[in-house]
Structure formats: C-alpha cells, structure tokens
Amino acid sequence: MQQLINNPNVISGGPNILSTPIEYLKGVGPVRADLLKKELEIHTFSDLLEHFPLRHIDKTIVGLIKDIRPDTDTIQVAGTLLFSEIVGAGRSKRLVAQVRDRSGILELTWFQGISWVTKLLEPGTTYLIFGKTSFFNGKPQIVHPEIEVFVPAVAGGKPHLEPVYPSTEKLKARGLNGRQLAKLTAQLFQQIRSSDIPENIPEAILQKYQLTSRATAFRQMHFPANPDEFKKALDRLKFEEFFMVQVRMNLVRLRRHRYSKGVAFEKVGELFNQFFHHYLPFSLTGAQKRVIKEIRNDTGHGRQMNRLLQGDVGSGKTIVALMSMLLAADNGFQSCFMAPTEILVQQHHAGLQKLLKDLPVKVALLTGSTKAARRKEILEGLLDGSIQIVVGTHAVIEERVKFSRLGLVVIDEQHRFGVEQRARLWEKADIPPHVLVMTATPIPRTLAMTAFGDLDYSVMDELPPGRQPILTVHRNEMARASVYDFVRSEIDKGRQAYFIYPLIEESNKVNYEDLLQGYEQVKSFFPEPKFRISMVHGKMPAEQKETNMQRFVTGDTQVMVSTTVIEVGVDVPNATVMVIESAEKFGLSQLHQLRGRVGRGSEKSFCILLTGSKASKEALERIQIMTQTQDGFVVAEKDLAMRGPGEIEGTRQSGALNTRVASIVHDRDWLEKAKIEAEELVAEDLTLELAKNLMLRQYLSLREGKTAWSRIS
Ligand code: ADP
Ligand code: MG
C-alpha cells in the first residue's frame, strides 16, 4: 500500500494508471521490476498489458511422459519429483532432477538460476511441468521447464486456456517464467478497471465490423475462454492498429489539403493544348491520362500538391512530368525537374527538347559540370523568369538556384526523397510549389498505403502498347560459353549488351574483384577490335564514369560491364541483352530494376540470369519469379511476402510499419477496412470535434504527446 501511495500516478488517479511503473504492481517489487525492464522492456502497467502471449495452452490437458517422441515440440505433464542434484562444476554446472508419472520418467535440467530452483523443489511433491522437449542419451528431457505445484483440475471442469508468454532464459532462471508472467498479468487485471482501457474506435465502426470492445479485447488476448474469443480479440486489435495509422495519415494529408496554401494552375492553356494536339508523338495510355487528370485537379485549386507517382519501368512517367510542367508554364509558373544522376538529367533534357521541338518553352540544363558562364546565364534566367523549366541534379538545384516564380517540382526516381528535402524546396518560393515525386520502384499497394499514406498517391499500372516482352531465362554458370555466343549474335545484329556484376561487401570494404575479372573475361570472349567495351563502377571518378556511360549511350561501345550503378533510369533503347552475373546475390526488386534497362526499344530483348551451383532455395525462388513475370507490381508483392515490410527499400524508416499484432502481408483485409473507415471519418470530421469521435481524439492526443516526448529525449 505504501508503494501505491508513493506513486504519483496512482494518487492523481484516473486515466494514468496504465502508465504506473511496473514495480507498483503487486507481486513485482524493485528486483523483478528491474528484470522485467531489462529483459522484456516492460516498464509500465501498459507495457505488461501489451506483452501479449505467443499462444494459449489448455491447462486441463496433461500429457504422459511415455508419449514424448523425438518430434514432440512442447508437452505438459504432471510428475512427482524423485530427486534433484547439482552435477558438474564451473561452466557445465547444472541442476538435474527426475520426475515420474504413471507412464515413465522425465529428466529436467537447469543451467541457470540453480540455487533459486533448488529451493523450490521438494521430493515427493507433484509438479505441473511445461516445456520444450528434447532427447539426451536416448532419454526425454526438458531444459529450463516451467514448473509449479500441481493442482488437479476439477473433473468435468471447463477447458482452461492459459497464456504462454515470450520470456527469456534469464527471466525463467529467476523464476519469472511464462506462468509467472501470466500471474502478474492476472494481477494487473485485478488492479485496473475496464474504464482504464477506454474505447478509441467510434461505436458505429465497432458495430459494423462486430469488433470486441477495447477493454474486453485486451483481457481476452490474455485470458480467453476459448480460441474463438482469442481470435476476435486479436482481430479487434489488428483493426485498431491499422485504423490508428490510417487516421493519422489521413489527418496529415487532408489537413495539408485544407490548410496548406498552394499556387493555383487555374487554366489549361496554349502550351499544354498545343503539345497535346500537335506534338505528342503517340496517344497517351489510359493510366497516363488518369494521372494527368489527377494532377490537374490537385494543382488547380490553390492547395499544395504532394503526390507520389509510381509507375513501373517504361510506363511513361516522363511525359506526365512534361505535361504537368507545361500546365505550370501556361499559368506563368516555373518548374524544376530533378533526377539523381548527371546521365539521367542529360537524357531528360535531350528527351524534353526532342518532344517540345519548336514550342516556345525555354528549358535549361543545370548539373555539376555546367560551365561557369552558362551557369550564370541560367541562374539569371531563372531569377528573371525567362527560363520556364530547369532540368538538373538534386544537389545543384537545392544548393544554388533561386526562382522568380517556382510552381512545380518534379523529383524523378527517388521515392526516398524525404520530407526535409521537400521542405527545403518550399523555401524557394513564397507559396510552396507543388511536388510530384516519381518512382519506378513498384511498391505493393498495402505497403504504399501504410508507408506513404500521408502523400497523395497515383499508380501507372499500364505499359504503352506494342512493347515487346523481355524474355527472361535462368542459366547455370556452366553454360556461360553459350550465353556469350548468344550475346555475340545480338551484337552482330547491331545491338548492345549489359553485363552486370554484384558488389561483395566484406567488413565495410567493397570488393570489385568480380567486376574486374568479369571485364577481362568479357574482353577475352570478344577479342576482335570491332567489339568495344565500357566499364562503369561506383568507385570510378565521376568524370570517367560519365565518359564511359556516354560512349555506351551513343553506341560507340557495344558492351557495358558494370555494377548496379546503371540501375536507375538509363535509357539505351538499342540495348537488347542483359546478363546478370551471380544473380543469386541480388534482391528481387533490384533484379527487376536492372532488367528494366532492356526492352526499351522495338526489338525483342533478353535477360539472362546466371547463377553458380550454390544458390540458396530462396535465391532460386527469386529467380523463378523473375522468369515468370515482368510485372513490377507482382514482383513487389512477392518481394514483400518473402522479406516482410521492414526490408523493403525506402520504407524502413517509416514508423507506420511498426505494427505489433497486425501484418500488412497477412492481414490486408483488415488494412483495407481500416483505410476505408479512416478516410471516411477524417473526411467528415477533420478536426475530430464530433462527439462520436471524442474518444479517438483523446487517444490520439495522448499518443502524440508520447511520440513528441520520445523525440525530444
Ligand atoms: P519511365 O516511366 O520508366 O520513366 P519513360 O517516360 O522513360 O518511362 O518512357 C519510356 C518510353 O516509352 C519512352 O521512350 C517514351 O517515349 C515511351 N512512351 C511513353 N508513353 C508512351 C505512350 N503512351 N505510347 C507509346 N510510347 C510511350
Ligand atoms: Mg523515367
């Protein structure tokens, strides 16, 4: 009682009881509290409440020792202690005990907490024993079992599901095994009331999906009466988890729509129309039309656009960017078009010039290697407004450029472009420009919804018509000679080829050996002077890299030997073959990005994945997926399923993915439902002022306080 009184949270009473430090729970105290904190990160009542069981066991089901088989995983038996003794010394010192039931004898072993366990054990007493079984010298045993004095179940009693908690060896050795944790949790429910776990989802939504109330769900996660109750509790918490993420994301997105001022591209003017009717060399795909419409809608109303555009390699994002920039120009605004590398920027610049022909739009190219005099001209032109579009590398534009009227920023090939970087661009104009981020890294829908839910989001899931499919095959290294012969036949037809090598990282040192050997090997296969070979890798001086790349782009060299540096965006339509060496060492999305470098022209293209004989099962699975589909979104879904969300490029830092019970891979139904409800709720009540949303609002403001605090500390 004294302890309780000393705890300020308890004195103030009310909603804070869950933030009470764990030592104030009856049965814990300072020593155990220390262990719980160190071993399980359980600091408060609420941490214990959210320390969910791994599974439940039915305590009324007691097995027989004779039924333990080599493939038995865990078992619960009731055995009478025959003896216990300490054997060995030093490191191999252990406590060994034997128990017997009517069917056989079981050995129990402890390596840790020996003195503590010894005190518990009394020969002749019957214990309920639970644990993972193994065999030692042909005899069954359990190492570090959970053990307590056996109380026979009442005959005909109801099944009793007992939670099994994740614990650690150290905790078990100190007597805080799963069963003890269950006792503490039961104690916790004695000390708190249902009203301490207030509802946070509006009633109508609970009704609609038949969701268990929050307080009940927490209780039934730990102590369900039957498996069905547990499942319903789990479903409720999964929905809640997704729902809260989606509400937050929607609040950020819609509040920005409502309150952030943006420049308005009110009219569709001369440049846009001229281009659309007379200059466009093809008709737009349905997806392109849809996205352009979305952008027009976004930018037309005086609120700032923040749009992520995802389109698979070759889906035609550049034209969408261009038409958006023409829209800006029509309304008297400038645009900047940024790409990550100098090569890409040059290609974009040349591409735009070719498309725009004689249209009266001034486009400038600005990179690190722009000559000083030219740079000065461009900077002046941007400042006085005579240049409408500048194409450049991120670094250059961020550092030195000032605009007269910046209205639109397009960022190509970088979905990782962070909020901070965007904010820096906003500073370049009084009213923040619209931002369009384009990426060719397909991201599964569920992942995008979660990781980028605060952005507006468009997908181009359609390739322009008439594309030749890329034939992707898997070959063993042994077949290398025939692969080279094939490449030679393509080059003889006037085409170009890539050979890609992985980089091996050894203790922070990147190893280029394979690449250099590969270069020699390729050279020896194509010895005639008519074959010219470029090589590019990340450690090369930038200038040399550019030169070598440029020679390949212009067709001066027929073969490009490279690491993954060519991964992003490069467009050489005449290249029709890509050989990926040691393909087992690449991830799925990387393979897909690489493959996107071929199949860009009208000729049939090929991607050959070479592997050694040591490829793992998973690597072979990745390669098989590559040979089966060319759809980036399918590849991305498989990648997500194989690796889980935490590993997908560019989403790692997203806090939205740190879900505890829900999984965006396995619970997408709940995610979809949560998204729909969150969107509807936020659209109706952006300030969360309606009475029905009061609890939600309180919940979120408490959580927000928490996050803000953790950021400060
Ligand atoms: P990405 O989305 O990978 O950036 P690009 O914008 O580079 O794709 O377009 C790839 C190629 O497809 C370019 O050569 C482009 O001219 C062409 N293209 C784009 N849209 C269409 C279309 N609607 N019909 C035919 N070809 C198109
Ligand atoms: Mg592109």
d(CA 340, CA 413): 7
Ligand 1 proximity of 632 Cβ (cutoff 6 Å): no
Task: For residue 282, report the distance from its CA to the centre of ligand 1, in Å.
Answer: 9
**Closest to 605 in 3D by CA, of 567, 577, 626, 630:** 577
**Residue 288 CB less than 6 A away from ligand 1:** yes
pLDDT, residue 59, reads: 67
Does the Cβ of 318 fall within 6 Å of ligand 1? yes
Which pLDDT value is given to residue 48?
A: 94
**How many whole angstroms separate alpha carbon 36 and alpha carbon 23?**
9
- What pLDDT was estimated at residue 2? 39
Quick check: 411 and 402 in contact, CB under 8 A? no
Nearest ligand, CA 288: 1
| Pocket lining: 99 vs ligand 1, CB cutoff 6 Å | no
Give residue 1's pLDDT: 38
Torsion, Cα 271 273 277 280, to 10 degrees, reads 50
Query: Are the beta carbons of 422 and 615 closer than 8 angstroms?
Result: no
CA dihedral 531, 536, 537, 539 (to 10 degrees): 120
pLDDT at residue 377 in the model: 95
For ligand 1, say whether the CB of 178 is within 6 Å of any of its atoms: no
**106 vs 97: CA distance, rounded Å:** 8
The answer to whether the CB of 285 is under 6 A from ligand 1 is yes
CA 315–ligand 1 middle distance (angstroms)? 6
d(CA 617, CA 623): 10
pTM over 0.85: no
Q: Is 440 in the pocket of ligand 1 (CB under 6 A)?
A: yes
Relative to the CA of 573, which ligand 1 atom is closest?
A: 14
If one residue of 285, 309, 318, 346 were mutated to test the ligand 1 pocket, choosing by the most ligand atoms within 8 A of its CB, it would be 318
Ligand 1 atom nearest to 355, measured from its CA? 16
Ligand 1 atom closest to the CA of 313, numbered from 1: 3
Instruction: Note the pLDDT of residue 450.
Output: 76
Which atom number of ligand 1 is nearest to the Cα of residue 285? Answer: 23
Distance of CA 628 from the midpoint of ligand 2 (Å): 24
Nearest residue (CA) to ligand 1, atom 20: 316
Residue with the nearest Cα to atom 17 of ligand 1? 316
Which 8-state DSSP code applies to residue 278? I
Rounded average pLDDT per 10-residue block, the chain, 713 residues: 39 64 91 91 93 81 90 90 92 92 94 84 92 88 87 61 82 78 92 92 97 96 91 96 91 81 91 96 95 94 88 89 97 93 85 94 92 93 96 80 92 63 65 87 77 81 84 93 95 95 74 86 90 87 84 93 72 92 90 88 92 88 94 87 68 60 87 94 94 92 52 25
